[in-house]
Amino acid sequence: MDLFSLVSGVGGGAAFPAAEGEGAGLQLNLFWIIVSSLNFLLFLYILWRGALRPVDRLLEERRARIEQGLKDAEEAARERARAADERKAELAAAQHEAHELISRAQKVADESAAQLVATARAEAERLIERGRVEVTAEKERAIAQIRAEVADLAILAAGKVVGESLDGPRQRRLVGEFLASGMAGSTDGREGQG
């Protein structure tokens, strides 16, 4: 208690009444309140300068980095969206180009097939016509050969029947006339039957 009374005396009066008086209450010393307040303010200033200011600076730097990170993230998101749009556009263009290529290829294939069919048809018609010509020529040769053989046989037969020999040109003329009249009759008979 002496220490309090000593400090109280310096401050301009007793802060606490002596223990002897029972009726005295708590007294406040304005000087000590001011000194304590100044000490507290000085402590807060030192604390702010020494500890809170660097923490505040650190928090401000961290906030700036976070904001920069958010800006970078937004930019990256925009870049990803732009890249996705570009990919979609490229994909659509590629699909369109593929459809065009397929349709062109289909058209070329159809034209080639039509050309091949026309060429094959023309070749087949040419072969058929050549076959007809060959068959007709072969038929004519066969008929001529048969006529010659029949003429030879007829001349031999006529020579045996007549008993004399006919000369070559005369024999041939007679056989040709016979065959012409005989063939005309046989073809008319066949046409009448058919």
Instruction: Flag whether 97 is in a domain.
Output: yes
Instruction: Flag whether 147 is in a domain.
Output: yes
Instruction: Flag whether 82 is in a domain.
Output: yes
- Backbone φ and ψ of 12, nearest 5°: 100, 20
Instruction: Flag whether 156 is in a domain.
Output: yes
For residue 9, the model assigns a pLDDT of 52
Residues 6+ apart with CB under 8 A from 169: none
Instruction: Flag whether 194 is in a domain.
Output: no
Domain holding 72, by residue range, is: 2-185
Instruction: Flag whether 193 is in a domain.
Output: no
Instruction: Flag whether 190 is in a domain.
Output: no
Number of domains in the chain: 1
For residue 157, the model assigns a pLDDT of 74
CA distance 136 to 150: 20
Instruction: Flag whether 55 is in a domain.
Output: yes
Neighbours of 175 (CB within 10 A): 22
Q: Which stretches in the chain have pLDDT values below 50?
A: 1-3, 6-7, 10-19, 191, 194
For residue 15, the model assigns a pLDDT of 45
